[in-house]
Amino acid sequence: MKNDKLIPGLILVLIGAVILLDNFGYIDFRWGNIWHLWPMFLIIAGVNLVFAHNRTPLATILKIGVIVLGFGLLLFGRFGDRMNFPMYYSFHNDNHDNDNSDKDDDNNDDDDDDTTTTTKSGIVQVESNNGFNTPYTADAKIAQLNISGGGTEYLLSDTTNQLFKADTKEHFGKYEFSHRNEGSTYILDFKMKDKKGGHFNWSTGDDKSNSATFKLNPNPIWDISVETGATSLDFDLTKFKIRTLKLSGGAASFNVKLGQPQALTNVEVSTGMASVDIKIPQNAACRIKTDSGLSSTDFDGFTKKDDDTYETPGYETATNKINININGGISDFNVHRY
């Protein structure tokens, strides 16, 4: 029985059927299931390799059965909104404890475990096991926060009397923070840095995840850029003045809630395979432009202007606006009004 093209053909047919059924509203496909069930693709590929030269009906049934089972889990699985990373690994020192207690926002003293370096160009670099902070000064009119590094849960919702504060938990790698100012513009760089030394430990479970919880000062105008790999991000930005927000990630889950726009608030989203949920105020004027490939989209309360442009009523005459540009491969994009 010739079935060399049966399996890839079946996969293409199923993918096309899922996209069509989802686009026409017959099913509610949760693209986030891909992040939870990505090992299923390895199993499908492995089974097909093992039985690549086996032409018996039993082998064919087994290969088809694994594909049908995998797509069944993708279609009907319900795993919640939490982003689960496939595995966590960590480098530990014998006496290293990554759990952090709450600290007073007004406490600007450096911890004894902090490593602080000031370069000739005025960049202050900090490595710490206990979080990071930058004092607020009245001349800070604009703040740029650049976040990079995957394998982390990023959270932001609260304010602080400082300019920036981050409480971190590290189970692999190490966070690094630097800041500098150019006149009234303060530039903050927060990233995950590979950690050398210690012993290597494979583990799974929620207690072995990296996390960074941010707090920002509400006074400056904020430009925020996030560039990550496998990441879960949950930002409530309703208390802050957001001028630009850039989200770039691979297998990521982005959940963002925006407040009232500045004169113009720009949001740029660029993803590979991601779940993106953006909430905007009910009365905010907003335009969405998309180039989303095979992605699923849901823009509740928007009027479609052309194939890739959507607007809220009254957008053209509004004084303050939100512009959202979306680029993605196979992702799930949702923009809702609250």
Q: Same domain for 46 and 165?
A: no
Residue 265 has a pLDDT of 98
Is 88 part of any domain?
no
Q: Same domain for 142 and 252?
A: yes
pLDDT range class, residue 106, cuts 50, 70, 90 = very low
Is 114 part of any domain?
no
Average pLDDT over residues 29-36: 66
Q: Same domain for 182 and 315?
A: yes
Residue 179 has a pLDDT of 93
Among 52, 76, 100, the domain-final residue is: 76
More confident of the two residues 6 and 277:
277
The answer to whether 160 and 240 are in contact (CB under 8 A) is no
Q: Same domain for 274 and 147?
A: yes
pLDDT range class, residue 206, cuts 50, 70, 90 = very low
Is 139 part of any domain?
yes
Q: What is this structure's pTM?
A: 0.66
Q: Same domain for 160 and 256?
A: yes
Residue 263 has a pLDDT of 95
Average pLDDT over residues 142-148: 97
Number of domains in the chain: 2
Render pLDDT for 55-104 as a digit per residue (tens, 0 to 9).
Answer: 788 888 888 888 888 777 777 665 544 444 443 333 334 444 444 444 44
Render pLDDT for 276-334 as a digit per residue (tens, 0 to 9).
Answer: 999 999 999 999 999 876 678 889 899 999 878 999 999 999 999 999 999 887 778 99
Is 113 part of any domain?
no
Q: Same domain for 37 and 166?
A: no
Task: Look at residue 122 and tell me whether its pLDDT is greater than 90.
Answer: no
Is 155 part of any domain?
yes
Is 121 part of any domain?
no
Is 202 part of any domain?
no
Question: SS3 sequence, 215-278?
Answer: EECCCCEEEEEEEECCEEEEEEECCCEEEEEEEEECCEEEEEEECCCCCEEEEEEEECCEEEEE
Q: Same domain for 167 and 284?
A: yes
Q: Same domain for 184 and 68?
A: no
Task: Look at residue 207 and tell me whether its pLDDT is greater than 80.
Answer: no
Range of the domain at 231: 128-193+209-337
